[in-house]
Homo-oligomer: A and B are copies of this chain.
Amino acid sequence: MEEKLQKLKDYLGEAADLYQVAALLGWDQQTQMPHGAAATRGQQMATLSALAHQKATRPEIGDLFEELLPWAQNLDHDSEEYRLITVSASDYDKATRVPSEFVAEESQITAMAHEAWAEARAKSDFSIFQPHLEQILELKKKYISFFPAADHPYDTLLDDFEPGMKTADVKTIFEALRPQQVELIQAIASQPQVDDSFMHLEYDEDKQWDFGVKVATAFGYDWNRGRQDKSTHPFTINFGMDDVRITTRFEKNLLGSALFSTMHETGHALYEQGVGHIWARTPLASGASLAIHESQSRMWENLVGRSLPFWEHFYPSLQASFPSQLGQVSLEKFYKGINKVERSLVRVEADEATYNLHVMLRLELEIAMIEGTVAVKDLPELWNTKMKDYLGLTPPNDAKGVLQDIHWSGGMIGYFSTYALGNLISVQLWEKFKTINPEIDDQMRNGDFSNLLSWLRVKIHQHGRKYQPQKLVERITGSKIDPAPYVQYLKTKYSAIYEL
């Protein structure tokens, strides 16, 4: 059986290599490739993706699982072998359930939907996008039909982004969270606003770059196994744990943009760089789920990077880089400025306090679409109603409303909730870490993040996809995903800042 396991590893390794190469093509396209190469690159990518999929779903792998799965039942369920076999078998099952004609149909439909969405958003005219979204919704229902019936049809979609998570659980979590966040935001809105005008002065790009590099290095990002480039949208991408690259973008008149996105992407990258080498060239060489990934990026961005102790260490150095912009801005003023809460229409511009509400709104619409309780044509109105309820705002047009996100046009339904779940998990982990390492604030005041990183490495990073994400959270914190610590964190933080 050892021989069959080795054979499985060889097959998985071959597919993993090809997926990594496809990722490199994507990275190159977004950071280096000359524009004129777009069509050529599309062709290369199509050939490579088809081949990677073919290698990942080859029937020989299925044959191996027929023997390896029963054999694995007698192994320690915490063992590397057991997890490798069961997790990759589950991936294989998912990948082979979906017919390749469906995959081809979906990529055609989403390619056209993407075009339509871009036009609809530019013209702020939902009717252009509506028939395409209706097609995508039909596709998603068809996709669900390839899988055994779940408690809720949305479960099947959610599972692709957050394995094991149930729609009912997310609903429960969000229903507990929503009223408390709404209430907090209303309380903040009734207080005098903090000043962040200094964030909007002109900041030299090279100096922003250097400061971001300094912070990423202090966090523990390994430049020998990574690099940073510029791109239109910041992202983290990896080709194995020894090649984890981040990107950022700069806005001259918005200091926070590159600064916090670098911290965010570094959080993702630290996770991928920390995945154990035992998982190399296997499907387990990656973060456990999108929510766990987001818990890492948001922890470094918000719990570390928007904290007072962090800036007690780094602010003098930032001031030294930008003396004319920040020389006269006190640490306290700066700290309040970077934590300004403002109800806004656009998710990607949202702050820590309001972000989750944007996510909840989307989740509710997605579930209703899949349940069939809302028609696509009614989405704009429903969006605006919820926006008014949760954030007290009414979008002036659909471009700033229901058309703002790219996700649906790409067929990504089931994704959004992971953003909010990641926020909740980040605070649960943080609270647990503090019970073991109560000196974290002092360590941050000294620019020392080594204990935090070591703990994350041991508890989360090294395991890759070994553990089901919710079980991983439970294993570490002793409780399920829970909104209470997050709400408490927000209240404490903003009570101080806004003197609630």
Contacts and interface: CB of A to CB of B under 8 A. Distances in A.
Interface of A: 13-14, 17-18, 20-21, 24-25, 28, 32-37, 39-41, 43-44, 47-48, 51, 222-227, 239-240, 242-243, 245, 280-281
Nearest to A28: B24
A242 B44 contact: no
A227 B47 CA distance: 24
10 contacts: A20-B44, A24-B25, A33-B243, A34-B227, A34-B242, A36-B242, A36-B243, A37-B225, A37-B242, A40-B243
Contacts of A222: 36
Contacts of A226: 34
B41 A18 contact: no
Given A47-B14, A281-B43, A243 B21 contact: no
Contact of A242 (B32, B40, B47, B225): B40
Contact of A48 (B18, B39, B225, B243): B18
A21 B17 contact: no
B239 A44 contact: yes
A108 to B, nearest CB: 19
A35 B224 contact: yes
Contacts of A34: 223-227, 242-243, 245
Nearest to A22: B21
A288 B295 CA distance: 54
Nearest to A20: B44
A17 B43 contact: yes
Contacts of A280: 40
Contacts of A24: 24-25, 28, 44
A37 B239 contact: yes
Given A36-B222, A37-B225, A37-B239, 13 more contacts: A13-B47, A14-B47, A17-B43, A17-B44, A17-B48, A18-B51, A21-B21, A34-B225, A34-B243, A36-B224, A37-B240, A39-B242, A51-B51
Contacts of A44: 17, 20-21, 24, 239-240
Contacts of A28: 24, 28
A421 to B, nearest CB: 31
A227 B32 contact: yes
A500 B47 CA distance: 60
Nearest to A243: B37
Nearest to A18: B47
Contacts of A41: 239, 243
Given A24-B25, A34-B225, A239 B17 contact: no
A197 B83 CA distance: 67
Contacts of A13: 43, 47
